[in-house]
């Protein structure tokens, strides 16, 4: 008796998969009518999210962030630089976003992914405009030395909501960041004490320290289709329902930015308000996940 049922289940599964491949939009619309996504999530709920701090031992700060299958590895290296004449009391942040061919079938070897520069620009604009980091905190000696933070983010698996996951990994990496100790070398230049073997010299900054973060930005990407809003879409959902809206709020639920890269559905005021409301809920979830990750590192 068990075999026919098994064959029946298999037949049904094959039919569903065939329908999904042949008529992807109809397949998703059937789920939207039932207010549920194909992976059984309510339309307004994001996928399972995890953060692991300290993923790269050689970095000054690092984190591995996952939203569903989408996976980002962020690492920060600090370098001493000479500040510009316009901002003698400030350091700077340089952000690179990498999408190697292993992250997605649509990324071909030998050339940059189309999405990479777009996400990199979004990340830079968001981190700098949010005021999360006071660049004056990166100053060492006014007009002479300051910190340059190199943030590299590697996409290991690109299954939708790339910006959300990249931003989360960046925020987590800065939360884990420790500013290194620096000293003066024989030429009177400020250098990393550990790299130059100057541990016996009087350090410019006495000990490693954390950087103060404020107005920390978090984001949620939603797909708009007809009158429906689907939060945290997969890559397949993004490709089928092409109208995407990303909302960025800070830790105080203040709006940082809205990003809508085209699409066939107009973002009416009511839809934007609904997306912002979903993002407010998401910010609370992400804050809790990040706090738990930080607490776990402190215990270890």
Sign of CA dihedral 74, 77, 78, 79: negative
User: Where residue 39 falls among pLDDT bands split at 50, 70, 90?
Assistant: confident
Name the one residue in this structure whose structure tokens are 């998703």: 28
Q: Tell me: the pLDDT tens digits for 48-68?
A: 999 999 999 999 999 999 999
- Which one has a higher pLDDT value, 65 or 40? 65
Centre a 10 Å sphere on the Cβ of residue 200 and count the other Cβ atoms it contains. 7
Distance (Å, whole) CA 64 – CA 57: 12
Task: Give the start-to-end residue ranges of the domains of the chain.
Answer: 41-298
Mean pLDDT of the chain: 85
Kindly report the CATH number that applies to the domain delimited by 41-298: 3.30.230.70
Residue 6's pLDDT is 43
Whether the CB-CB separation of 194 and 181 falls below 8 Å is answered with yes
Q: Where are the beta strands (DSSP E) in the chain?
A: 49-53, 61-67, 70-81, 92-98, 139-141, 145-157, 178-179, 182-184, 190-192, 209-210, 217-225, 228-231, 243-250, 255-259
Q: 203 with 171: CB under 8 angstroms?
A: no
Q: Which of 129-143, 180-194, 230-244, 286-300 has the lowest mean pLDDT?
A: 180-194
Residue 146, Cβ neighbours under 10 Å: how many? 26
Average pLDDT, integer, range 180-189: 69
For the segment 15-44, the average pLDDT, to the nearest whole number, is 78
Q: Under 8 Å CB-to-CB from 148, ≥6 apart: which residues?
A: 78, 79, 80, 81, 91, 92, 93, 94, 138
Residue 193 has what pLDDT?
Answer: 57
Give the closest residue to 93 by CA, choosing from 141, 58, 129, 64: 129
């Amino acid at each position: 008796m068990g075999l026919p049922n098994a064959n029946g289940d298999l037949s049904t599964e094959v039919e569903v998969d065939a329908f999904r491949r042949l008529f992807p939009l109809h397949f998703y619309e059937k789920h939207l009518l039932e207010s549920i996504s194909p992976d059984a999530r309510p339309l307004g709920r994001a996928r399972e999210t995890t953060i692991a701090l300290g993923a790269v031992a050689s970095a000054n700060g690092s984190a591995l962030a996952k939203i569903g299958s989408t996976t980002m590895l962020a690492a920060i290296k600090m370098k001493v630089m000479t500040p510009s004449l316009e901002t003698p009391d400030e350091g700077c942040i340089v952000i690179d976003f990498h999408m190697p061919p292993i992250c997605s079938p649509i990324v071909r070897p030998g050339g940059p992914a189309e999405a990479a520069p777009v996400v990199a620009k979004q990340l830079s604009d968001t981190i700098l405009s949010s005021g999360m980091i006071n660049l004056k905190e990166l100053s060492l000696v006014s007009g002479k030395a300051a910190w340059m933070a190199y943030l590299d983010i590697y996409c290991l698996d690109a299954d939708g909501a790339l910006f959300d996951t990249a931003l989360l990994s960046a925020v987590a990496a800065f939360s884990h960041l420790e500013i290194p100790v620096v000293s003066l070398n024989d030429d009177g230049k400020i250098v990393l004490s550990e790299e130059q073997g100057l541990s016996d010299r009087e350090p410019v900054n006495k000990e490693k320290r954390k950087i103060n973060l404020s107005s920390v930005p978090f984001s949620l990407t939603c797909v708009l289709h007809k009158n429906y809003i689907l939060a945290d879409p997969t890559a397949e959902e993004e490709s089928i329902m092409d109208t995407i809206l990303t909302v960025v709020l800070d830790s105080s639920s203040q709006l940082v930015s809205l990003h809508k890269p085209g699409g066939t559905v107009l973002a009416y005021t009511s839809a934007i308000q609904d997306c912002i409301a979903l993002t407010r809920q998401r910010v609370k979830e992400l804050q809790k996940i990040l706090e738990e990750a930080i607490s776990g590192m402190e215990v270890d």
